[in-house]
Amino acid sequence: MANLRLGDTAPDFTAQTTQGEIKFHEWLGDDWGILFSHPADYTPVCTTELGTVAKYKPEFDKRDVKTIALSVDGLESHKAWIKDINETQHTEVNFPIIADEDHKVSELYDMIHPNANDKQTVRSVFIIGPDKKIKLIIVYPASTGRNFDELLRVIDSLQLTAYYKVATPANWKFGEDCVVSPSIATKDIPDIFPKGFKEVKPYLRITPQPNLN
């Protein structure tokens, strides 16, 4: 399957990983998930990324987010590479890495872009909600490492806006003011957002983050 779009159901699959065989939807359960691909094992940028994700596990856990990586190399290669990641990044890889030598999952998620490289995956990121729907897709070139602080920020926004009638403005961070959804009439805002609001323009209404005391 290719051309996945926001709101599509994340394709299910069964795969071997460094933590055993998983059935993806079953593994996700009722949590959020991040599926992210890597061009190859034993590559420098990937080594730093996987080490960073391991260090950030408490932050992902706090948000009920499971992380899972993918590379088109095999299981034994993954397991040996993890030793290097742990050593060089001063951490312990604490999440599964999918072995995808047959490109089954890579093709399912359109992670191989032939004009960039016809064998290796690009740096794809899929954030998936508890409903198994795709909430975010980002694709980086192989030469550029991902910003996991930004992915945490996006997760905070996705989780907030999934349950409250707000959107988050440019450069928003957890704890900052939000934008009231355009679907809410100004006269109804006080009942929905008792913390108050500021009308900058009829279409731009600002309110404090609603899920904070």
Catalytic sites, residue numbers: 46
- 133 DSSP assignment: B
Give the pairing type, strands 65-71 and 14-17. unpaired
What Cα–Cα distance (Å) separates residue 169 from each residue in 36, 73, 156, 158, 183? 25, 39, 13, 12, 16
User: Where do we find the tokens 């065989």?
Assistant: 21
- 14 DSSP assignment: E
H helix or E strand, kind and range, residue 178: strand 178-180
